[in-house]
Amino acid sequence: MTDHQAESPIDPWVRSILRCPVTGAELVDAVGPDGEPELRSTDPERPLAYPVRDGVPVLLESDARPL
């Protein structure tokens, strides 16, 4: 399974409306370096990854990981 083929723990209808709170870019499902699910911003100028904890996306800039 590659990063972009990670199974999303988030309901599809919720996933479809989520956007990066910093850039407004679409978020895609991925797996972080620790093997945990995350959402990655598709903004090429400021790529960020947000953790998903217990099925809940944590969309706080302070919790984002630069890519």
pLDDT on residue 8: 64
pLDDT at residue 59 tops 60: yes
Instruction: Work out how many domains the chain is built from and give that number.
Output: 1
* pLDDT at residue 16 in the model: 85
For 43-56, the pLDDT digits (tens) are: 999 999 999 998 88
Question: How many residues would you count in the chain?
Answer: 67
Instruction: Give the residue, 45 or 1, on which the prediction is more confident.
Output: 45
> What is the value of pTM for the model shown?
0.82
Other Cβ atoms within 10 Å of 27 Cβ, number: 22
Range of the domain at 14: 3-66
Distance CA 43, CA 25 (A): 6
